[in-house]
Amino acid sequence: MEKFQDLTAKSEAELAELEVQLKKEALNLRFQQAGGVLKNTARRRQVRREIARIKTAAAQKKNSKKSA
């Protein structure tokens, strides 16, 4: 889990790549939970929140470019 300050330091391309990776992980976790294999159920929540942080950082970067 990365801190928000670390995410804001990354480029938009890096954020997009990280978001794709986390979405794949979220999908795999969802399937594992449905199959009864998932041990760490809290990881799903962590991944969801990390995706939200990435989207927020990307939106802030996009808005700062528009106003500049």
* Structure-block tokens of residue 68: 């500049």
Q: Based on the structure, what is the number of domains in the chain?
A: 1
Which domain covers residue 50, as residue numbers? 4-67
Distances, alpha carbon 54 to alpha carbons 5, 29, 31, 37, 39, in Å: 11, 19, 23, 28, 25
- CATH code assigned at 21: 1.10.287
pTM to 2 decimals?
A: 0.89
pLDDT tens string 1-59: 778 888 889 999 999 999 999 999 999 999 999 999 999 999 999 999 999 999 999 99
Alpha helices in 1-68 (DSSP H): 4-8, 12-35, 42-67
